[in-house]
Amino acid sequence: MIDHQRLADEFFRLASISSPSFREGTISRYLSERLRLLGAEVVDDGAGPKIGSESGNLVAYFPARGKEASPLMLSVHMDTVEPGDGVQPVLQDGVFTSAGETVLGADDKAGIAEILEAIQVLQERDIPYGPLEVVVTVCEEVGLLGAKNLDFSLIRSRRGLALDTSGVDLAIHRAPCANKIRFEVRGREAHAGIAPEMGLSAIAVAARAIDRMRLGRIDEETTANMGTIRGGQATNIVPRSVVLEGEARSHSRLKLEQQTAHMIDCFKEAARELTRDIGGRPVCAEVVTEVMSDYPLMAVPRDAGILQLVEAAGKTLGRTIEVKGAGGGSDANVFNGQGIETVILGTGMSNVHSVDEFVRVEDMVRVSELLVEIISQA
């Protein structure tokens, strides 16, 4: 049923439009028109100015055609990571790559092309389907900002699919919740050569804290990382201040809380242990901590209706859908946090977030076929 050439042409057009996060204006205008041509009512939710993007999130409403059903949400994001300017997609032997030193943008434009093709097939073959809501977010790649600022009053669906992971015939139903953690250690500056005993090194405190911290793979559900550190003024000054940023994530809310508390305690203990007597009085470094929830837990039950729908569609096509958990966050975490039971579908994209990114046309065809079945059975 899928028109291979039309699908490839659509992906080529999408990939050729540069759309790094915050600069999605051109692709937003293209998608608005493209979705309207398919018969959708398209709304920009106005999130753009709130997050500094050229566009808000797009919500496209497709009315039911010959079938009564509860609405189904299909979600993708329109932005790409850098380097994303001047993308030149190349198709060779059925595989799309980037011609230059840029990403291809299959993350997430493969998903967009697959949704457009599936809807077009349903319409031209008069296959009945229920109401659809296609949500295209901005700034997903920079902290899910579009989804976090989406006007959810525009969404009626209570079930959905987010097309945004590698692989085909794959559904992700579990993903961790995460915290971002910022530490600022404030010590006391002094001349490092003349009077080092009058200073208290913020970097020394931070180093001790990190040395005793559990990081990396904590257990099968939990990871943690300290990702950035900046501070100090010069090699001849005992550093007064250092700022560190890290994260913790887990498939268990309790374990996330415990790991976050552990990381904070490491800094507090290091500050106490490195208290110094300066000028006849004890001086202890001050630790200022900020914990920010990055995204909520995604835990769609294995027997959830949306998963049963995906698996039933796969069975119709003679396929077995692999259902598993993942280690990263996505817009689907945010949708689930808003009560929209959402799983993530593989789109066929590979080597994402690199200049070696690629996607096979046959894989996009395979995903489009699955979407046609899912939508028709929803």
pLDDT at 240 over 90: yes
Range of the domain at 122: 4-175+297-377
Which of the residues 10, 79, 117, 169 is marked catalytic?
Answer: 79
Is position 107 annotated as part of the catalytic site? Answer: no
pLDDT at residue 253 in the model: 97
Q: Which is nearest to 106 in space by CA: 342, 317, 304, 359?
A: 359
pLDDT at 31 over 90: yes
Are 253 and 330 part of one and the same domain?
no
CATH number at residue 253: 3.30.70.360
pLDDT at 85 over 90: yes
CA distance 285 to 242: 11
Are 91 and 161 part of one and the same domain?
yes
CATH number at residue 115: 3.40.630.10
Whole-prediction pTM value? Answer: 0.93
Across 76-84, average pLDDT:
97
pLDDT at residue 216 in the model: 98
Which of the residues 10, 107, 114, 140 is marked catalytic?
Answer: 140
Question: On the CB side of 16, how many CA atoms lie within 13 Å of its CA?
Answer: 9
The values of phi and psi at residue 22, to 5°, are: 80, -15
Q: Quick one: tokens of 17?
A: 């439009």
Per-residue DSSP letters for 323-377?
Answer: EEE-SS--HHHHHHHTT-EEEEEE---BSTTSTT-EEEHHHHHHHHHHHHHHHHH
Are 309 and 184 part of one and the same domain?
no
Is position 140 annotated as part of the catalytic site? Answer: yes
Across 136-158, average pLDDT:
98
pLDDT at residue 369 in the model: 98
Are 71 and 156 part of one and the same domain?
yes
pLDDT at residue 125 in the model: 97
Are 128 and 270 part of one and the same domain?
no
Domain endpoint, select from 295, 310, 336 = 295
Domain endpoint, select from 258, 279, 295 = 295
CA distance 87 to 20: 11
Are 182 and 284 part of one and the same domain?
yes
Query: Please, which pLDDT band fits residue 100 given cuts at 50, 70 and 90?
Result: confident
pLDDT at residue 221 in the model: 97
CA distance 239 to 200: 7
Are 226 and 302 part of one and the same domain?
no
The values of phi and psi at residue 146, to 5°, are: -65, -50
Are 143 and 278 part of one and the same domain?
no
Q: What is the pLDDT of residues 199-214, one digit of tens each?
A: 999 999 999 999 999 9
pLDDT at residue 220 in the model: 96
Query: Please, which pLDDT band fits residue 23 given cuts at 50, 70 and 90?
Result: very high
- Number of domains present in the structure of the chain: 2
Are 170 and 196 part of one and the same domain?
no
Percent of the chain with pLDDT over 90: 99
Q: What is the pLDDT of residues 38-47, one digit of tens each?
A: 999 999 999 9
| Three-state SS at 10 | helix
Are 129 and 225 part of one and the same domain?
no
pLDDT at 5 over 90: yes
Domain endpoint, select from 295, 313, 330 = 295
Q: What is the pLDDT of residues 163-179, one digit of tens each?
A: 999 999 999 999 999 99
CA distance 231 to 233: 7
Are 60 and 205 part of one and the same domain?
no
Q: What is the pLDDT of residues 271-280, one digit of tens each?
A: 999 999 998 9
Are 151 and 59 part of one and the same domain?
yes
Nearest-5° angle of CA 137, CA 140, CA 146? 50
Q: Which residues contact 322 (CB under 8 A, 6 or more apart)?
A: 167, 169, 170, 171
